[in-house]
């Protein structure tokens, strides 16, 4: 929505950028004036932070070289660059030339740029419609240069899925710090999964709901005999193994499951995923209170999986 509204501003946005240069303080003043003007006309105004980002990116070596670059594709990268600089990095990433070469040790940054651009294109234009050349154009490299980082489009999608699973695994591992009983851990893990998905709907949709699972992952499955954590695409199997470990712990605590551990784990995931998918796909539907739905689903998962005394 921010990008569309920025486009609606048209000449107003460009004039503001040109007039204020790259002074952050002036940017805040100008953005405030623009906000006030639009609010007086009764128009929505959620994109002023984006304008401040663009203003602050004027100037030599900034990564933003003028009005001809004010478009959806490199606005995504501009925002990404701004976030890196605010984290204390001294170098502004350059995306202005297809012939730009990274210095030694900078390859990881280029890889991140590729993943960021690919994710936005997959979500906006569709996985099948997005080509390697299209991704390369957005990042500002040649297609052959992009192949130095990823062998094909499937490899890019696998890396994006690994990012999502990696973030989920970190949350699951953080639960280990609390000494909870196995059934309580199951509820905590289920709640963590649901809330993670609803807080990251775009990443969740791309990973689980886009229908573009690479053949390599389909053949391997989600519970291989051995898992190499460094192998591309392994993070999903690691997350499933973490979840399955909870049901093993429940059995070892003396409680019985209604089904074998692997089947129980799959059924529990299917239940959680069903709730998440319904909400993500139909956010405007008049569901009952979300917290009640989440707690009710957790109750159903526990009772459906564990033979309680």
- 243 has a pLDDT exceeding 80: yes
Binned at pLDDT 50, 70 and 90, residue 179 comes out as confident
Determine the distance from the C-alpha atom of residue 243 to the mean position of all C-alpha atoms in its chain, rounded to a whole number: 21
- 167 has a pLDDT exceeding 90: yes
- 98 has a pLDDT exceeding 70: no
Binned at pLDDT 50, 70 and 90, residue 215 comes out as confident
Q: What is the mean pLDDT of residues 269-283?
A: 94
When mean pLDDT is compared across 116-125, 225-234, 243-252, the lowest value belongs to: 225-234
Q: What is the mean pLDDT of residues 199-223?
A: 87
Give the helix/strand (H/E) hosting 167: helix 153-174
Alpha carbons 41 and 143: distance in angstroms, whole number:
46
Binned at pLDDT 50, 70 and 90, residue 103 comes out as low
Alpha carbons 61 and 98: distance in angstroms, whole number:
16
Binned at pLDDT 50, 70 and 90, residue 277 comes out as very high
Does domain 158-307 sit in CATH 1.10.150.20? Answer: no
CATH classification number, 103-150, choose in 1.10.10.60, 2.115.10.20, 3.30.465.10, 1.20.1440.230 = 1.10.10.60
Binned at pLDDT 50, 70 and 90, residue 197 comes out as very high
Answer whether 103-150 and 158-307 agree in fold.
no
Question: Domain-by-domain residue ranges, the chain?
Answer: 1-94, 103-150, 158-307
Entry pTM: 0.65
Question: Per the structure block, which two tokens stand in for 176?
Answer: 């280990």
Q: What pLDDT sits at residue 223?
A: 72
Number of neighbours of residue 98 by Cβ within 10 angstroms: 13
Alpha carbons 237 and 244: distance in angstroms, whole number:
10
- 309 has a pLDDT exceeding 70: yes
């Amino acid at each position: 929505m921010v990008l569309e509204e920025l486009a609606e501003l048209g000449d107003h946005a460009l004039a503001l950028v040109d007039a204020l240069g790259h002074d952050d303080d002036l940017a805040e003043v100008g953005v405030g004036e623009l906000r006030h003007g639009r609010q007086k006309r009764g128009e929505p105004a959620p994109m002023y932070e984006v304008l401040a980002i663009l203003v602050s990116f004027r100037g030599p070596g900034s990564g933003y070289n003028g009005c001809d670059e004010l478009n959806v594709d490199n606005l995504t990268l501009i925002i990404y660059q701004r976030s890196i600089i605010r984290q204390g990095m001294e170098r502004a990433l350059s995306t202005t030339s297809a012939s730009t070469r990274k210095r030694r040790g900078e390859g990881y940054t280029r890889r991140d740029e590729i993943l960021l651009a690919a994710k936005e294109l997959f979500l906006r234009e569709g996985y099948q419609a997005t080509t390697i050349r299209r991704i390369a154009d957005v990042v500002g490299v040649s297609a052959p240069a992009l192949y130095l980082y990823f062998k094909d489009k499937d490899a890019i999608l696998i890396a994006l899925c690994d990012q999502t699973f990696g973030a989920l695994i970190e949350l699951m591992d953080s639960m280990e710090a609390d000494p909870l009983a196995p059934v309580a851990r199951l509820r905590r893990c289920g709640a963590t999964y649901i809330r993670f998905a609803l807080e990251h709907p775009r990443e969740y949709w791309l990973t689980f709901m886009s229908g573009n699972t690479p053949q390599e992952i389909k053949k391997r499955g989600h519970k291989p005999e051995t898992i190499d954590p460094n192998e591309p695409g392994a993070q999903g199997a690691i997350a499933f193994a973490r979840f399955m470990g909870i049901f093993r712990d429940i059995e070892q605590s003396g409680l019985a499951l209604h089904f074998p551990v692997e089947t129980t784990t799959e059924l529990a995931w299917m239940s959680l995923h069903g709730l998440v998918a319904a909400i993500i796909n139909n956010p405007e539907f008049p569901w009952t209170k979300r917290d009640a739905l989440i707690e009710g689903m957790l109750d159903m998962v526990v009772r459906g999986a564990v033979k309680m005394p």
